Chain A
Amino acid sequence: MAAERVRTNNEADNPSSPMLQFGPDKPLKLDAGTVLSPFQIAYQTYGTLNDARSNAILVCHALTGDQHVASTNPVTGKPGWWEVLIGPGKIIDTSRFFVICANVVGGCLGSTGPASTNPATGRPYGLDLPIITIRDMARAQLMLVDHFGIEKLFCVLGGSMGGMQVLQWAASYPERVFSALPIATGARHSSQNIAFHEVGRQAVMADPEWHGGKYLDFGRRPEKGLAVARMAAHITYLSEAALHRKFGRNLQDREALTFGFDADFQIESYLRHQGMTFVDRFDANSYLYLTRAMDYFDLAADHGGRLADAFAGTKTRFCLVSFTSDWLFPTEESRSIVHALNAAGASVSFVEIETDRGHDAFLLDEPELFAAINGFIASAARARGLSL
């Protein structure tokens, strides 16, 4: 376990990804009313930026995602989380596009987050890190995009929390975004979603190993609490139908009920596995910060309560995607964004995809999702004059 801890710490401060460090001259202004400085952004890129710098695609990752979107994850050794979609010859073809994916600020894989060392104390930030918002994440990403000298991103895309960042980009920097592809997301976090996040946070904080957020100082980690948080959250990423199809009431490696509290059912065993593997790769405080960022997201509230005003006069081309069985970000969330974009006179496509795989469908091999992304990217590329 000690070895695991060291490895996580290493990725937080010295990631195996390239990183960009911003000194005291370039602080990150935060919505919390303070600044983060110095800070760093860890990122991955794929493909080559063309001479006109017009073929860049920014991918925004979800709550527990990271910058390793299309290459092997150094912590888990698993393929990139969106390799079904992104890579040479794939729908988002890295032989044509320059794909950037950065770890969000507040994350734990190399961008400054609660597990990073606070230069003021020489110890991990823990809860001394200011609260980070979705807008702060976008602001930091903008500094990275500026670093590459990219005037206008060809596309910004992402699902779930990544989709929130896409919407934030489109609202905050419309002139920097040619096309936007927010998937399985919402313009605000619903009360039910905040509720689920609160359950997760309480599970982490109820673990005695959390130590008021200072667990890294003690060389400990609230693994049990974080695992429970992940188990609860994981249920919300699936659907009842998918769970039933996959597990039903099947028993796990046994012929009969044991009349005890072992994982008799396959679903129990599956969730325990999800929880256990998650704690090996994710920092508990990061989980608190990023769930908070999603809870605080409310794009309409930032624009006088009228979502359409967030997109007033936008020239960005939008494509929204939702999934029929997603109960975390149901289709109605996407539809209300579409209505706002229509009211703003924006160019918008909206596809609802029939699937029983729930919220996580955006990460899976969904042919209709790929067809929509392919059609949208191809027509946007024609409009952008990208010879593909």
Chain B
Amino acid sequence: MKGLSRVYTALVFIFLYAPIAVLLLYSFNSSTSTIVFHGFSLHWYKTLFADRATLRALYNTLLLAVCSSVIATVLGTAASVGIEKFRKSALRTSIMATTNIPMMNPEIVTGVSMMLLFVFIGRALSIDSVLGFGTLLIAHVTFNLPYVILTVLPKLRQTDKNLAEAAMDLGCRPVSAFFKVVFPAITPGIITGMIMAFTLSLDDFIISYFTSGPGFQTLPIAIFSMTKKRVKPDMYALSALIFVSILILLILYNIAQQKSEEKSNKKI
């Protein structure tokens, strides 16, 4: 049984990592082929850093991810604080149902529906190319918001309501009571929500594809237009670099988590 489960786990991981292994291998290929391996070279990594369009797309992607996750976090945290106060009312139920829509709808429908809205407004105001950074930002904030709200709301529910009231009894104004007492308690939820929003935005292709214009390309869109013809291995090199940096971040995060756990164990 134990041997069998080992083999099974290995097979699943081979399946999940096979294309990534292929990609890493071919990023070091000395020829343009993504089929035959000719020999080891760092050529594609050099081409990558000389390719302005790709670097521009990378910059655009990061800019969009930072802006959209920050806006979504601020809007979403404020929304959660308000929603929590609504208790059980029809308004609360309908807000929560609306919040779930972008998560349940197929991404292509979300993308298409927003595109229709933007195109309609564009026609009404007779703007030629509405689709660009602005529309992308709106779209990304919109699909990020539910994730922020759904990570902050449970944290709010866990915090003791009496704490804020105690602070106010001691002379705090409601706003400073929130920032001094409630905010620190929900910070972990806010950070988790923001990280989720950031990674979702970084990785999104489908919704961006329908809400972006030719003037503002993100990395996934640039990759998509390349895969229509042939992908040059410098894209493989870029993906390899992204993969390795995420891997390092995750390992560091895990080590940090383990250390803090060991510390808290010692205290007990």
Do the two chains belong together in a single complex? no
Chain A interface (Cβ < 8 Å from any Cβ of B): none
